[in-house]
Amino acid sequence: MNKSQLFLIMTGLVFILVAPKNSETKQTSNEKLEVGFSKGDATPKIGNKPVYIAGFGHNRKAEGVSDPIFIRAMVLKTEGKKYAFVSADLIGLFKEQVDDIRKELKDFENVMFSCTHSHEGPDTLGLWGQTPFQSGTDPDYLLYLQKIAVSTIREAAKNLTECDTEIAAISIPELLHDGRPPIVKMDELLSLKFNNTNTKTALGIVLFWHCHPETLGSGNKKLSSDFVGYTVKEIMKQTQAEAIVFTGAVGGLMTSLKVSIKNDQGQNLNDGTYEKTERYGQLLANASLNSLRKAKAINLTPIVVRKKEILLPVDNPIYRLAKQMGVFKREIIDWDLQLNKHASLNQREEKHPAAKTEVSVISLGELGIGCIPGEIYPELLLGKVATKPEKEADYQDAPTEYDWFQKWKMPYKTVIGLANDEIGYILPKKQWDEKPPFAYGSKSAPYGEINSLGPDTAFLIANAFKELLFE
Ligand SMILES: [Zn+2]
């Protein structure tokens, strides 16, 4: 996602991995774990109504389909309870839409619905219509999408099979470009492998990777999952197992654009081409499969889910305008000052608009997953927010957000971004830089703030994780 349009708001889902901090991995006995996979084709029909492609400029009407828009689901079952994990080839979904899907799945202990943040799929947020003042979302398609999501999750639950599990991690910074200083990448690819307990054959491979799927660029006119579809295809080809990619910490900005990718003849492949997109997808698949050759057994039980709804102030004037224009279809409510009084927060008037979102943590035995409702900057997770802001930054006295991810002691941990919501970028207040002069010698405002709810978003999200994990 590049500068361009003001309204190109909301983006990104995140999975973060950090290698085990200590080797005292508990060898508790595994409760029986079952896994099931499924995918549903949610490609919009191209015909009577325009299908606007999300992620870059306005009025990018789809002229065809390059590869299907899939909703991929994994269901885990242990101790009689089912947990769904979904990754959709979409730019994002608002919490209201996720809650509608959950209403149909009340027999599940938890449904975690995330999007890959593909910049080549249909507009599901409303921000990429014909003009900035018209929604790009087709309400009929959203209903169709919900139906496919529900049936795909139910289908995955029908495929439940007893499994053993393995995990592997590999650092691949060469497959990421960081578009904004400071350069901090979440460059560890985490892979989980599920094997049939009885036959030992692979049932499915799950990847957690932290990159915007936008290799096809702003000129593409065909619906696509971008590199994600090619990654899945390659893994399925080599292993005959199902595959799912979850998108992680993509803020700040993690992209496949400008990543140098060569073909077999050593020639550079250009951004915006199918050749580069396919090759990138294959390289990611190969990195995962190579790392899994040295996989370690992991216990993914017991499963514990903790979640919390929070309010975030909507400070972004563009979001407020978009809401007024009916472009931005999410509920806006009054921020309750009583609940959110904190010395570090900016003061706001009564009745300040706010959005309700959800943060959650899922513990799968030895693996902890933080579910983040937007696109978080990796520095907030890796403990790499600079102690002192750059001298041009807007908030010189900004507090450092609570370092919940580094403090979370788990043998393995990761994050999923765009999980159960898409609130846009979540950036350190110390890096907030809307007013000139700009940091790092930049002549123009850095990209990110314009697609964020406001400068206190990261602080409030970090506090919510702190409460879920430590209080
Ligand atoms: Zn994005």
Tokens standing for 48?
A: 């009577």
The answer, yes or no, to whether residue 26 has pLDDT greater than 50, is no
pLDDT of residue 21 exceeding 60, the answer is no
When mean pLDDT is compared across 106-115, 334-343, 437-446, the lowest value belongs to 334-343
Q: Does 8 score more than 60 pLDDT?
A: no
Q: Tokens standing for 425?
A: 């970028």
> Structure tokens of 403?
């370092």
What is the average pLDDT across 180-191?
A: 97
- Section 169-190 average pLDDT: 97
Determine whether 155 is exposed, middle or buried from the number of CB atoms within 10 Å of its CB (0-12, 13-18, 19+): middle
Find the 13 Cα to ligand 1 centroid distance in Å.
8
Between CA 104 and CA 251 the distance in angstroms is 31
Q: Is the predicted pLDDT of residue 224 greater than 70, yes or no?
A: yes
Q: Report CA(106)–ligand 1 centroid distance (Å).
A: 31
Q: Which residues contact 309 (CB under 8 A, 6 or more apart)?
A: 356, 357, 358
3-state secondary structure of 223: strand
Compute the distance from residue 126 Cα to the ligand 1 centre, in Å.
15
Please give the distance, rounded to the nearest whole angstrom, from the Cα atom of residue 81 to the centre of ligand 1.
Answer: 33
According to the model, what pLDDT value does residue 19 have? 38
What is the C-alpha separation between 446 and 431, in angstroms, rounded? 10
Separation of alpha carbons 288 and 282, rounded Å: 10
- Quote the DSSP letter at residue 211: -
User: What's the average model confidence in pLDDT over 198-221?
Assistant: 98
Mean pLDDT, rounded, of the chain: 92
Place of tokens 């409030």: 460
Structure tokens at 88: 């959709």
Render pLDDT for 273-315 as a digit per residue (tens, 0 to 9). Answer: 999 999 999 999 999 999 999 999 999 999 999 999 999 999 9
Burial of 153 (0-12, 13-18, 19+ CB in 10 A): buried
Per the document, the length of the chain is 471
Largest Cα–Cα separation, the chain: 63
- pTM for this one? 0.93
Going by pLDDT thresholds of 50, 70 and 90, the confidence category of residue 89 is very high
Q: What average pLDDT does the segment 164-191 reach?
A: 97
Mean pLDDT value of segment 252-263 = 97
Cβ count near 369 (within 10 Å): 27
Considering only residues 178 and 319, tell me which one the structure prediction assigns the higher pLDDT.
178
| Confidence band of 4 (pLDDT split at 50, 70, 90) | very low
pLDDT tens by residue, 32-70: 999 999 999 999 999 989 999 999 999 999 999 999 999
* Ligand 1 ion: nearby residues, β-carbon < 5 Å: 1, 11-12
Q: Which percentage of the chain shows pLDDT scores above 90?
A: 85
C-alpha 77 – ligand 1 centre gap (Å): 32
Other beta carbons within 10 Å of 339: 8
pLDDT of 339 = 65
C-alpha to C-alpha distance for 117 and 417, rounded to whole angstroms: 9
Question: Ligand 1 centroid to 112 CA: how many Å?
Answer: 19
**pLDDT > 90? residue 2:** no
Q: Hey, what are 151's tokens? A: 């049936």
Q: What is the mean pLDDT of residues 146-169?
A: 98
Mean pLDDT along residues 437-465: 95
Say which range, 14-18, 248-252, 290-294, 445-449, has the weakest mean pLDDT: 14-18
Q: How far, in Å, is the centroid of ligand 1 from the Cα of 161?
A: 35
The DSSP output letter for 319 is H
Beta strands in 335-423 (DSSP E): 353-364, 367-371, 375-376, 412-416
Q: How far is the CA of 9 from the centre of ligand 1 (A)?
A: 8
